[in-house]
Homo-oligomer: A and B are copies of this chain.
Amino acid sequence: MAGRGVIGSVPAIENPYLFVSRNARWQPMFVPVNPDRPFSGVNLAESFADAYSRDHDADVGLIPCADGGTSLAQWAPGGLLYDHALMQARLAMRTSVLRGILWHQGESDCSREASAVYAEKLTEMLTALRHDLGLPEIPIILGALGDYLADYDEGTRTYYPVINAALRHVAETVPFAAFAPADGLGAKPDHLHFDAPALREFGLRYYAAYRTVEPPADESTLRFAEDGRTHTQMEQL
């Protein structure tokens, strides 16, 4: 999820310990975090990072890799989006420690054919990503699609529950994965994208899920960035 919440419709997150990767360098976090389109907006990773940072008393860096409207097939290992995300993560790992992967996608797979193979293909992709990162136990948080999709087009309203069941299944069967529910979260007037207040809440749910699979603190995994601060970070797809 790239994030399409209207900027300014929720209070900005004020936390000087939040960063975002730009050109493989860490910059103080600014919106839109994930500038994939001219209409990019508030993203759930903002409140996730804020919660993580406050809870751990640590810097948190986000690695935006999301691309709006994309299907799981477009994220296949070896494809452009996968390789781009992998490369951004690898560059970030030179100056920080990767602590988790946030995944939110599936609206474009709300069809009979795509939803039938979603769990299998997602498991394959996430397993490949962990392998390619050299981090077989990195936590992965998977969030549900919004129930407001019941008001979208026929294919979406028919198959989004299948995608949600697949996401939950992957979270339950892939080790160190967890599921963030989207129950009750609101949409923009398009009935397709979460609104900004929902994204703030969803980020906190992602963080609550993250806490259930977080590895124990291990100072040996911490490295220091150029500025001497420790950085942890989240890859956001």
Contacts and interface: CB of A to CB of B under 8 A. Distances in A.
Interface in A1-42: 22-25, 27, 30-31, 35-38
Interface string A116-137: 0000000000000000000000
B23 A84 contact: yes
Contacts of A25: 67, 80-81
Contact of A38 (B23, B30, B36, B65): B30
Nearest to A31: B38
Interface stretch (A87-95, A103-111, A144-152, A176-184): A87-95
At the interface, is chain A mostly helix, strand, loop or mixed? loop
A71 to B, nearest CB: 13
A83 interface: yes
A67 B22 CA distance: 8
Given A27-B36, A30-B37, A37-B27, A95 B80 contact: yes
Nearest to A67: B23
B87 A23 contact: no
Given A22-B36, A22-B67, A91 B95 contact: no
Nearest to A23: B67
A155 to B, nearest CB: 23
A27 B80 CA distance: 14
A152 B109 CA distance: 55
Contacts of A83: 24, 91
Nearest to A237: B23
Contacts of A37: 22, 27, 30
11 contacts: A22-B35, A22-B67, A23-B36, A23-B85, A24-B81, A24-B84, A25-B81, A27-B37, A30-B38, A83-B91, A87-B91
Interface of A: 22-25, 27, 30-31, 35-38, 65-67, 80-81, 83-85, 87, 91, 94-95
Nearest 9 CB-CB pairings of A with B: A24-B84, A30-B38, A24-B80, A35-B35, A23-B67, A87-B87, A22-B36, A23-B84, A23-B81
Given A35-B35, A80-B95, 10 more contacts: A22-B35, A22-B37, A23-B84, A24-B84, A25-B67, A27-B36, A27-B37, A30-B37, A84-B91, A87-B87
